[in-house]
Structure 1
Amino acid sequence: MALAIGDAAPDFTLPDQNGTPVSLESLRGQRVVVYFYPKDDTPGCTKEACNFRDQWSAFADHGIAVLGISKDGAASHAKFIAKYTLPFTLLSDAEPCPVATAYESYGLKTFMGREYMGMMRHTFVIDAEGKLERIYTKVKADSMADTILSDLGLA
């Protein structure tokens, strides 16, 4: 079943770049951007992460948390963060994972009209009450952060 604006955002608890568990529920009371991406340090994923980095002050000024999620492990995330000076948290949704995977809760990947489990490049804005405020399934890696800020009237 596809998620829709106004739905409760599926909760998750995943390890960050330091191996520390982070739950979506713990961020209630503030807006959260959750963006799923395929792999650390690849061209499109780097463009997307750097766009969030370059717009970080606007997100921080408005109290918006940013969480990037991929299947890469904590060590890979730590290197990616260090290499590009990323100021936000990256979470690992690797298999096997001791907690429920987030990508399964947030939707299926689509390729050539077929849906299947896999890491998609989708972005979600979750409001302070934990409801989906915006859903982006067609992500432009080099301008996703700009688009979000504009759509929220913060640009």
Structure 2
Amino acid sequence: MAGRYPWDHNGWWTEPSLFNVNTGLVPQSTACGMLIGPLYYFVFRCCSLIVVGLPGPNGLVRINTEDFRFPKSGVYTQLEECNAELDLEKQKLVDLPNAIEEQKSRLRSVIKNVADMTKSLKIIPGTDAQDIQAIEEVDQIRQRALLAIQRYLSQ
């Protein structure tokens, strides 16, 4: 019966008894099928390949998914990495109450220090105008000192 079904000619699936011609379905033990609107697709395993069949304008369209499968060791390695990350996150959750208490005590200490510093602040007497006048007087004294030094050095 070679060539009777679209997938027979390349030897993808050579057991026509598993395919029901009347319904167009493959038994559940052989394939997993799903009806999506008018489009029916099925996945079946043949040899070491997983083949996805989609009805198309030129017969059955096959997609080889062998390239998309990971080796078991790679999957197990990823699983171990995920479990290690999960264990770290679980440990962080266990340590969270202690970390919260530590941060609260640090915050209390900082607040106490700020309150003490605020109490130790003293008001500087005078106004801004008085401060500007004092700065100008100091600047004039500096200018006179520079002139005196220059006169002495020029002699």
TM more than 0.5: no
**Larger fraction in helix:** 2
Q: Per the shorter chain, which TM-score range?
A: under 0.3
Structure with higher strand content: 1
